[in-house]
Amino acid sequence: MSALDTIVAIATPPGRGAIGIVRISGPATARIAATLLRRCPPPRTATLATFREADGGAIDQGLALYFPGPQSFTGEDSLELHGHGGPVVLDALVRRCLALGCRAARPGEFSERAFLNGKIDVAQAEGVADLIDAASSAAARAAARSMQGELSARVHALQAELTALRVRLEGAIDFPDEEVPLLDDGEVATRLAALRGSLVALRDEAHRGVRLVEGLTVVIAGKPNAGKSSLLNRLAGDEVAIVTDLPGTTRDLLRHSVLEDGIPLHLVDTAGLRVAGDAIEAEGIRRARAAIARADLVLYVVDAARERAEVGAIGTEMAAIAPGVPVAIVLNKIDLLAAEAHDDLPTATDPPGVIALSARTGAGVDRLRARLRASAGEQSAEVSVVSARRRHLDALGRAGAHLDEAERVRRDTGAPELVAEELRCAQAALGEITGEFTSDDLLGEIFRSFCIGK
């Protein structure tokens, strides 16, 4: 990319609208404004202007806003032309700018320039993109936080801690004969432990942020005939899966995505867990267990009429298959229970969090939906979730692995230079989030996923 180019793009969505905005950024902005509008408008002042063709004729009339660099979004001289939002008139305006020496902007190029000029970091730019793409108010709130630099600030705080600890360790390397036993005093161990704790906390929060954007993988599991496929159909609002009264109906994984309040839920129906009857079912059960292990949430479906007694053992059974994966127990087929039993379900003897419902009648399904929304992070977004992406989680994961390794090296060898080296690697991994240590290829990839004019 040449920083000398002046770029132009329509910044409003395609189609007709009351207002359409064309954005220009780069060193030739003032010159182009002087020709297009007859004079460059005063800085940061909305100015009524006629946008003119080469022959002096009017393309449109509207507001012109001139932002001299560096006090602009991109950090360069830039101009916004607010005209009428018709595709033909906006195209004519862009064509005129191209004739005056602009180049058509690539997707995300305005944001990329803002990054290159130090106006925002990559995590903030991604926050802008996520805010525009947000499908729920929770996702929008989280994206706004990242856009305003909350994720970046958390990363910077961790990096500052890492730097301080490295200085301490590198002091020990440079002055090995100092009296203070630098690595035995427990201080390094304590600070390392605190760092690991902060990193895990940030990673959890980032994970919730990713789920707001990417959605939640919800695996429906349970014994054969419990009503798993019926529940999938109920949540999907469609006959997605085959339902029969034969145990062992579902053998393969069946995936279906739905939007719950704007949050994508990726539902996975599975084969009933039991001792398999044949090779096909055995493979289905193997796949079911693998899906459970990768789930963000498992809905364990129980036939309320026949399997109530087994509810207590489910937690242990699931923990063996998928340690750490949250499980919600769904007591299904409550329509088969005596009418008076419905009202006080779940009862005090059920484990906490049990959701009683009927996949057949739909009774109680709203409670399940509320639980799904909560799991998708909607509730925690009230507190403070930042929007995040897989690549952030990845970087946080690698930083965490280096900190674990630093702790292991500290314990086993006590060699400050080895610990310091792991801290340096952790720091580099964190730097990828904000773009400090990100390769040009990755940067290009990130910004290309943005829309044109942003």
Q: Which residues bind Mg ion (CB under 5 A)?
A: 228-229, 249-250
Minimum distance from residue 288 beta carbon to ligand GTP (Å): 9
CA angle 194–127–69, rounded 5-degree value: 110
Q: What share of the chain is helix, strand, coil (3-state, %, to 5)?
A: 50, 15, 35
Closest CA to 295 of 375, 196, 230: 375
Task: In whole angstroms, give the CA distance from residue 129 to residue 142.
Answer: 12
Cis preceding linkage at 352, omega within 30: no
N residues, the chain: 454
Name the token pair of 139. Answer: 């996702």
Q: Which residues contact 101 (CB under 8 A, 6 or more apart)?
A: 6, 28, 31, 32
> Applying CB under 6 A, does 298 fall inside the site for ligand GTP?
no
Query: Exactly one of 359, 386, 409, 429 binds ligand GTP (CB under 6 A); which one?
Result: 359
Q: Which of 225, 375, 387, 438 binds ligand GTP (CB under 6 A)?
A: 225
Three-state secondary structure readout of 176-188: CCCCCCCCCCCHH
- Write each residue from 299 to 338 as x if it is in contact with ligand GTP (CB under 6 A), else as -, in one continuous string: ---------------------------------xx-xx--
Bond into 351 cis (ω within 30): no
CB 368 to ligand GTP: min, Å = 12
Q: How far apart are CA 150 and CA 127, in angstroms?
A: 10
Span 261-280, contacts to ligand GTP by CB under 6 A: 272
Q: Which does 358 bind (CB under 5 to 8 A by kind): ligand GTP, Mg ion, none?
A: ligand GTP
> Least distance from C-beta 317 to ligand GTP, angstroms?
16
Of 149, 224, 377, 416, the one binding ligand GTP by CB under 6 A: 224
Quick one: which of 13, 42, 247, 351 contacts ligand GTP (CB under 6 A)? 247
Window of 106-114, 221-229, 321-329, 405-413 that interacts with ligand GTP by CB under 6 A: 221-229
- Given candidates 41, 209, 248, 284, which one binds ligand GTP under the rule CB under 6 A? 248
Residue 224 or 377: the one with the smaller Cβ distance to Mg ion is 224
**245 counts as binding ligand GTP under rule CB under 6 A:** yes
DSSP class of 107: T
Should residue 27 be labelled a site residue for ligand GTP when binding is judged by CB under 6 A?
A: no
116 vs 345, which CB is nearer to ligand GTP?
345
Which residues have a Cβ under 8 Å from the Cβ of 140 and sit 6 or more positions away? 131, 134
Q: Are 77 and 29 in contact (CB under 8 A)?
A: yes
Options 82-90, 138-146, 218-226, 378-386: segment touching ligand GTP (CB under 6 A)? 218-226
Parallel, antiparallel, or unpaired for β 58-67 and 78-85?
antiparallel
Q: Of 230, 387, 427, 438, which lies in the binding site for ligand GTP, with binding defined by CB under 6 A?
A: 230
Q: To which H or E segment does residue 219 belong?
A: strand 216-222
85 phi and psi angles, rounded to 5 deg: -90, 60
Distance CA 86, CA 90 (A): 6
Which of 131, 243, 321, 429 is the binder for ligand GTP (CB under 6 A)?
243
Q: Which is nearer to ligand GTP, 223 or 410 (CB)?
A: 223
| Given 29, 146, 358, 380, the residue binding ligand GTP (CB under 6 A) | 358
In this complex, which beta carbon is closest to ligand GTP, that of residue 225 or of residue 434? 225
The residue ranges that bind ligand GTP (CB under 6 A) are 222, 224-230, 243-245, 247-250, 272, 332-333, 335-336, 358-360
